[in-house]
């Protein structure tokens, strides 16, 4: 009999798992409480970001995930938005420039293709930017997706391989037979399975708590503003200098000084700016992302977040001060203390693929790895860093996290 796998969660990780498992000949049922890409996959600005991935598993799984995108673009029905135009992080002062020189050298030592470009090249790639920009780090492997289109393409691919994808079906608990997980309890009744994969993002922790399994996954809120569709003006993905303090790779550099990369209004509003900009294929420009850490999962944007975004973007991108705005939204991003997801069998019959703070980059590859684990195969990557029992530190809800 063909093994039946139930996948819980209709984001990029869950749909990638469903696709690869169905393609390998497994019987797959994917369950999503709301609609596909309802969570982080439908609410992020679409960065497939290699630029700042920590060396080790995080960088390797991201590189492999990035390499899968052209293959998936050919394989999946309907296609999806994928723009491999690279990404940059700009700087405005000589003191910041010294830090960026160290950053580029460190990235090259890690084996990642990154270079310094000058202010003129930054202004060519991002015409609305301030005139005094001095330069940027640039990684040609960074790419942009509209993540919801990738999720729907993966789901369509899974269906084409025989999977059942059911939206509007919530999973309330896991079925047990002794110590083994043998299915799920949905709001439509029980559903038995040979294996259950939990890929529910920030909601994974609550689901597994019902079994007494504590998965230390936190959540941080990111908010995004979008313009009306505009003529093409932004070629690469763009991060500003305020974003650097979020990344360990910057904070551990010899010349790092947080004062060089902090704005006063961040402290005033208890919000940090992951200052970014991207233009989608349809012309809308995405702006963000103020970050905060509500104790409960909260998908509502705030006035403080919108104010911080408006100020940061208007100061650094004067060419956008008068563009027409269309909408705002927020998402909740999962993370672990070491910023590596959990990809493991945590109990017989129960597999976990959650905690992806960089799901756009790692999501497709995670789906393939979980499909291999479910089949009892040796995964094609060493998952030691992603094991459930690796000794993850607890998450202090409401406290700021660093990537």
Q: Give the global pTM.
A: 0.96
Distance CA 6, CA 14 (A): 10
- The mean pLDDT value for 162-182 works out to 96
pLDDT beyond 90 at 268: no
Average pLDDT over residues 341-365: 97
| pLDDT attached to residue 381 | 97
**Which residue segments constitute the domains of the chain, with CATH numbers given?**
4-77+147-217+338-386 (3.50.50.60), 87-140+218-335 (3.30.9.10)
Cα–Cα separations (whole angstroms), residue 94 to 1, 52, 97, 100, 249: 65, 21, 5, 10, 19
Does pLDDT of 289 surpass 60?
yes
CB-based contact 53:59 (threshold 8 Å): yes
> Residue 269 — very low, low, confident or very high, per pLDDT cuts 50/70/90?
low
DSSP calls for 213-282: -----EEEEEEEEEEPP--S---SEEE-GGGGGG-HHHHTSTT--GGGG--HHHHHHT-EEEEEEEE-TT
Position 1 pLDDT exceeds 70: no
pLDDT, tens digit, 9 for 90 and up, residues 243-266: 999 999 999 999 999 999 998 888
Are 88 and 136 a contacting pair, CB within 8 Å? Answer: yes
């Amino acid at each position: 009999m063909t093994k039946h796998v139930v996948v819980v969660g209709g984001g990029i990780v869950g749909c990638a798992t469903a696709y690869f498992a169905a393609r390998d000949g497994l019987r797959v049922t994917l369950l999503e409480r709301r609609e596909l890409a309802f969570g982080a996959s439908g609410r992020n600005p679409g960065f497939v970001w290699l630029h700042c991935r920590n060396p080790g598993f995080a960088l390797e799984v991201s590189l492999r995930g990035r390499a899968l995108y052209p293959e998936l673009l050919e394989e999946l029905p309907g296609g999806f938005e994928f723009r491999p135009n690279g990404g940059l992080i700009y700087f405005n002062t000589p003191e910041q420039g010294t830090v960026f020189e160290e950053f580029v050298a460190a990235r090259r030592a890690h084996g990642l293709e990154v270079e310094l470009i000058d202010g003129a090249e930054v202004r060519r790639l991002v015409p609305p930017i301030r005139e005094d920009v001095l330069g940027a780090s640039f990684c040609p492997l960074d790419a942009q997706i509209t993540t919801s289109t990738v999720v729907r393409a993966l789901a369509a691919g899974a269906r084409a391989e025989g999977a059942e994808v059911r939206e509007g079906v919530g999973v309330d608990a896991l079925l047990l037979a002794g110590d083994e997980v043998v299915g799920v309890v949905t709001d439509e009744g029980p559903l038995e399975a040979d294996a259950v994969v939990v890929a529910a993002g920030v909601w994974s922790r609550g689901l597994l708590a019902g079994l007494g399994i504590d998965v230390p996954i936190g959540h941080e809120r990111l908010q995004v503003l979008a313009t009306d569709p505009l003529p093409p003006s932004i070629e690469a993905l763009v991060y500003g200098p305020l974003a650097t303090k979020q990344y360990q790779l910057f904070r551990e550099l010899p010349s790092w000084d947080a004062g060089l990369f902090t704005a006063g209004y961040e402290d005033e509003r208890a919000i940090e700016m992951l200052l970014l900009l991207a233009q989608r294929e349809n012309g809308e420009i995405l702006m963000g992302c103020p970050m905060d850490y509500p104790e409960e999962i909260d998908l509502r944007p705030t006035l403080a977040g919108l104010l911080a975004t408006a100020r940061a973007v208007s100061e650094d991108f004067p060419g956008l001060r008068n563009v027409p705005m269309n909408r705002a939204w927020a998402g909740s991003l999962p993370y672990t203390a070491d910023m590596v997801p959990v990809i493991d069998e945590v109990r017989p019959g129960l597999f976990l693929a959650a905690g992806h703070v960089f799901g756009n980059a790692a999501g497709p590859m995670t789906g393939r790895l979980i499909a291999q684990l479910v089949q009892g195969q040796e995964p094609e990557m060493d998952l030691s860093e992603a094991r459930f029992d690796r000794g993850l530190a607890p998450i202090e809800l409401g406290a700021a996290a660093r990537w």
